[in-house]
Structure 1
Amino acid sequence: MPDTIWFRDDARPRRPRLSRERIVAAAVALLDAEGVAGFSMRGLAARLGAGTMSLYEYVRTKEDVLDLALDEVIGEIEVPSEIQAHGEIEGHGEPKPWRELLIAQLTQSRAVMRRHPWVPALTATRPLLGPRALARSRLFYAALAEAGLAGPVLTAAVGTLSSYVNGFVAAENIWWQKVRTPAADAEIRARVAGHLDAEFARLSQVEDADFDGQFLLGLGLILDGIEGRLGGAGR
């Protein structure tokens, strides 16, 4: 297990000109602009108009900054108000059905990863132990546990949902980084469809550019599998 800021009591002295909050906000902006590969403490310091070494008054390492930036943007995924801090659904009112709740959460996750294309790369390389990430994880485990999953099956269900969203959005981000416009996307799809025989083109529906619809269909298939495991009829 790598060393991570979440395992340490790492309070650092504060100077008025900088703060950990300012550093994290600048780190998110730099990651949005340059990605993980282009991120550096020197570049972050330049964005803040500070010396590189002054950043280490607030964080110990570059990895700490990445951990904090990742948890910051995960906080853009809203945890419903009916979910208590310990992850359980409050007793008053009707809770959202687990399926509806997870679709809403994962749709928000995709939107966050589209706004911040560097997120999938970081979620794959570090434990997600920040307060915002843990709140979201508690929500997933609680929803599926209340639906009836437990033990390794519960863990596998959470992991499968997470991997699906991360993989889908990582591929989607790379595609749009290369293709850039819907017009170019449509041109490529038309050329591919013309290259395939008619039967294969019909089956593959390669000209379908509805990423939103494809995402929800794929997510629905996974949730159908989970529901089938619970003994439901699926959808």
Structure 2
Amino acid sequence: MPRPPKRPHAVWFEPSERPRRPRLSRERIVAAAVELLDAEGESGFSMRRLAARLGSGVMSLYEYVGSREDLLDLTVDHVMGEVRIDGGPEGPWREVLAWQLTQSREVMRHHPWLPGLVATRPVLGPNALARSELFYGTLTRAGLRGPRLIAAVGTLVYYAQGYAAAENAWRAWLRDPADESELRRQAMEYVAERAELYPTLTAQAQLDIDDFEGQFLLGLETILDGIEASLGP
């Protein structure tokens, strides 16, 4: 079978310079890593998937970051920067802390992988340390020192992290509000049918409440009340 004739070709028919992919940078890699974590979670995160997302080779990533764990540290600190430390209240310490923790919950809701990563590594990036400095400084000005200061910081931070993690897990499992309402109704009915065994739960456990934000704020207010009481007169 005769070969088809070749197309006419000359170097002059090609563009003067082939377009090149823009070089990678640590900033581009971190931003793409955040997008991948948002889409797949930590369990679906790998350097190979990230390289494919960036259209590069895996080894090219290691020119900018030392390891997968280093990159996860960078993504955590990058996302921590979404919690603002300027433009908020400058008055009573309770308002400052409530503003910070409300933002933290919102950021952890937007990035569901964040609570787990924050809990498993030292959080020492510049964004994280700047927010910790504000947090510690606010409680110090309120009058806390030493072990009580450390305990107060841990209680508040772990409350926000744990609440956001539980909320994320619940929302990932029950995505349809109608399904959630039906489940809550059935749970209330189940407990009420066993009122003799669980009288307090029947009377007090409001299982139909689905206001995560309102419950978060009320729980935070309760913790802050306890910290304020510990300050004494």
TM-score of the pair, normalised by structure 1: 0.85
Which residue is 2:10 aligned to?
none
Listed as ranges, the matches of 1:93-108 within 5 Å are 95-108=90-103
Amino acid at match of 2:147: P
Amino acid at match of 2:58: T
Listed as ranges, the matches of 1:28-39 within 5 Å are 28-39=34-45
Q: Which ranges of structure 2 fall in alignment gaps of 5 or more residues?
A: 1-20
TM-score of the pair, normalised by structure 2: 0.86
Q: Calculate percent identity across the aligned residue pairs.
A: 61
Listed as ranges, the matches of 1:184-223 within 5 Å are 184-197=179-192, 199=199, 200-223=201-224
Give the distance between the partners of 1:201 and 1:36, measured in 2 at CA: 39
Q: Which ranges of structure 1 fall in alignment gaps of 5 or more residues?
A: 1-14, 83-93
Give the distance between the partners of 2:176 and 2:151, measured in 1 at CA: 36
Give the distance between the partners of 2:28 and 2:203, measured in 1 at CA: 52
Listed as ranges, the matches of 1:160-199 within 5 Å are 160-197=155-192, 199=199
Which residue is 2:46 aligned to?
40
Which residue is 2:81 aligned to?
75
Task: Report the aligned-residue RMSD.
Answer: 1.5
Give the distance between the partners of 1:34 and 1:118, measured in 2 at CA: 9
Give the distance between the partners of 2:47 and 2:202, measured in 1 at CA: 48
Residue-pair matches, total? 207
Shift of the alpha carbon at 1:163?
Answer: 0.5
Q: Determine which structure has more spread, i.e. the larger CA radius of gyration.
A: 2
Shift of the alpha carbon at 1:202?
Answer: 3.4
Give the distance between the partners of 2:176 and 2:99, measured in 1 at CA: 27
Counterpart of 1:123 (choices 112, 118, 127) is 118
Shift of the alpha carbon at 1:81?
Answer: 4.8
Which residue is 2:30 aligned to?
24
Counterpart of 1:58 (choices 55, 59, 64) is 64
- Once the two structures are superposed, residues 87-119 of structure 1 have per-residue CA deviations (whole angstroms, 9 ceiling, x without a partner) of xxxxxxx93210000001000000000000000
Give the distance between the partners of 1:182 and 1:128, measured in 2 at CA: 35
Give the distance between the partners of 1:183 and 1:133, measured in 2 at CA: 38
Shift of the alpha carbon at 1:230?
Answer: 0.7
2:107 is the alignment partner of 1:147: no
Shift of the alpha carbon at 1:28?
Answer: 0.2
Q: Secondary structure at the match of 2:90?
A: coil
Which residue is 1:3 aligned to?
none
